[in-house]
Amino acid sequence: MLGSSLFLMGNFAQAQNDGPIWPPVMSQLRAGPSESSVAAQLLPDVAVEPAGVGALARWSGIWQGWACFSAQCDVKVAIEKLSADTATVVYAAASTTQRTTERGEAKFVNNEMQMKLQAGATLLLRLREDGDMEMSLWRNAQQLISLGVLTKKPFPYARTVEHIPTPWQQDGRAQTLEMVVYRPPGAGPFPTLVFNHGSTGEGDRPELFAQTWASPEVGHYFVDRGWQVVFPQRRGRGRSDGVYDEGFEPDRSRYACKAELSLPGLERAMTDLDAVMAHLLTRMDVDAKRLLIGGVSRGGILSVAYAGTRVQPQFLGVLNFVGGWVGDRCKDADKVNAVSFVRGAMFPRPTLWLYGAHDPFYSLSHSRKNFDAFTAAGGKGEFMEFAPLYSGNGHFIHSQPVLWESAVTDYLYKMERY
């Protein structure tokens, strides 16, 4: 879950006596636009002085990109003036909850640029061989609180936010659904992946309902291969209109475990997806003959059930990342999860199920049992298990493409030729 701090990332690494240690995950991250709805703003008087040629010149300029958990912070850095030992730097960051912009002096230490921020954190910058810049923020040089990647180059894809029509109204006003779109260069039409979000943990933190969700990792992977990726936000999630109502207890204190309360939430999600697909099939940038559907957690099981239940559109395949509707600690988990997955068994093409060890919501044994019920009902697919990197939480393997990109590449190749 996201923390309350603008830059909160968790304890990825701890510093030793000789200074901060960059986490191993850094090498897997890449530059791109942030997921923040608020743009970072540099100071209006930013002035970058010519840096000449050589190693120093690589640092000079205006950098942009993302930081924070799930790329939820927008970041810009201007390196205005350079000397052999120091630099004048303007740092700006923004999220939906906080913004900061300040100018200060940074110093070079071991080929890294270090700048003490007014709030007490230390900003570290270092250059990659490809010309991009890695950044991290540290509290008291001990705790890593944020990291990201910045670039001076154009972003490799366009990220836009749209609001698409629905058949519903509220108080006489037409409702819309928010949709984040990752689009490769060109006009299309593009093969398109519809990728569905999950829940918000236990459903007991309403402030999380308003957070727009997308997966930069999934988006990067597909746009690199010429695919467009859309991340629809169902009713009441992100900035979509309507009430979020996907299976709560009667007092809405948390998600319901009882099948009779939970399963109607899946039906509602399917109806929202109907509105999304109706819209996408009208678009000139969508290749309706090359559609994939997938998602994470509730989005994964939703995608399997939807592909097997709806005759149109015909999807090339289904990507299910750690799918399930209620956690396996729920007494009715089998009555909800297995039953819902079986609804997808009518999908005529193979599906790909990707699950991680150490998932606090869906154990591998429970998820295997769901897959067995799916195949026993006639469903086609492959179930793959992964150990999350750094002994992490298996529910978030979608954010570790090094685990699954080979399997998904093979799957795409087969589905295009199936």
CA angle 106, 108, 109 (to 5 degrees): 125
The answer to the question of residue 224 being in a domain is yes
241 and 342 inside one domain: yes
**Token match 């829940």: residue?**
199
Nearest to 257 by CA among 197, 199, 300, 322: 199
**pLDDT tens for each residue of 294-343:** 999 999 999 999 999 998 889 999 999 999 999 999 999 999 999 999 99
**pLDDT tens for each residue of 221-235:** 999 999 999 999 999
179 and 145 inside one domain: no
What's 127's domain CATH number? 2.40.128
Residue 18 pLDDT class (50, 70, 90 cuts): low
What's the domain range around 249?
Answer: 158-416
341 and 238 inside one domain: yes
253 and 316 inside one domain: yes
Distance of alpha carbon 205 from alpha carbon 47, whole angstroms? 43
Please determine, for residue 2, whether its predicted confidence score (pLDDT) is greater than 70: no
Residue 27 pLDDT class (50, 70, 90 cuts): confident
**pLDDT tens for each residue of 242-269:** 999 999 999 999 999 999 999 999 999 9
**pLDDT tens for each residue of 373-393:** 999 999 999 999 999 988 889
Residue where a domain terminates, one of 136, 151, 166: 151
- Position 181 scores a pLDDT of 97
Please determine, for residue 140, whether its predicted confidence score (pLDDT) is greater than 90: no
Total domains in the chain come to 2
The answer to the question of residue 6 being in a domain is no
pTM here?
0.89
- Position 28 scores a pLDDT of 84
The answer to the question of residue 5 being in a domain is no
Position with higher pLDDT, 11 vs 174: 174
- Position 3 scores a pLDDT of 28
Nearest to 252 by CA among 302, 202, 324, 178: 202
209 and 124 inside one domain: no
* Strand 99-109 versus strand 112-116 pairing type: antiparallel
**pLDDT tens for each residue of 334-352:** 999 999 999 999 999 999 9
Please determine, for residue 134, whether its predicted confidence score (pLDDT) is greater than 80: yes
The answer to the question of residue 234 being in a domain is yes
Spatial contact of 11 and 130, defined as CB atoms under 8 Å apart: no
* Diameter of the chain measured on Cα atoms: 69
Please determine, for residue 156, whether its predicted confidence score (pLDDT) is greater than 90: no
171 and 78 inside one domain: no
The answer to the question of residue 329 being in a domain is yes
Mean pLDDT computed over 181-193: 95
Angle of helix 298-309 versus helix 259-280 axis, rounded to 10: 70
Please determine, for residue 5, whether its predicted confidence score (pLDDT) is greater than 90: no
102 and 237 inside one domain: no
- Position 19 scores a pLDDT of 65
Strand (E) or helix (H) holding 296: strand 286-296
Residue where a domain terminates, one of 151, 170, 205: 151
Percentage of the chain beyond pLDDT 90 is 82
The answer to the question of residue 10 being in a domain is no
The answer to the question of residue 106 being in a domain is yes
- Position 10 scores a pLDDT of 40
- Position 22 scores a pLDDT of 87
* Strand 317-321 versus strand 228-232 pairing type: unpaired
Q: Specify the DSSP class assigned to residue 224.
A: T
390 and 370 inside one domain: yes
Q: Specify the DSSP class assigned to residue 338.
A: I
**pLDDT tens for each residue of 68-100:** 988 999 999 999 999 989 999 999 999 988 899
The answer to the question of residue 219 being in a domain is yes
Please determine, for residue 21, whether its predicted confidence score (pLDDT) is greater than 60: yes
91 and 168 inside one domain: no
What does the mean pLDDT of the chain come to? 92
Spatial contact of 119 and 100, defined as CB atoms under 8 Å apart: yes
139 and 231 inside one domain: no
Distance of alpha carbon 13 from alpha carbon 23, whole angstroms? 6
- Position 70 scores a pLDDT of 84
Distance of alpha carbon 193 from alpha carbon 188, whole angstroms? 14
146 and 250 inside one domain: no
What's 325's domain CATH number? 3.40.50.1820
Please determine, for residue 11, whether its predicted confidence score (pLDDT) is greater than 80: no
Mean pLDDT computed over 358-386: 98
Residue where a domain terminates, one of 95, 116, 151: 151
Please determine, for residue 1, whether its predicted confidence score (pLDDT) is greater than 70: no
Percentage of the chain beyond pLDDT 70 is 95
Sign of the dihedral defined by the CA atoms of residues 206, 212, 218, 220, in that order: negative
- Position 69 scores a pLDDT of 84
197 and 338 inside one domain: yes
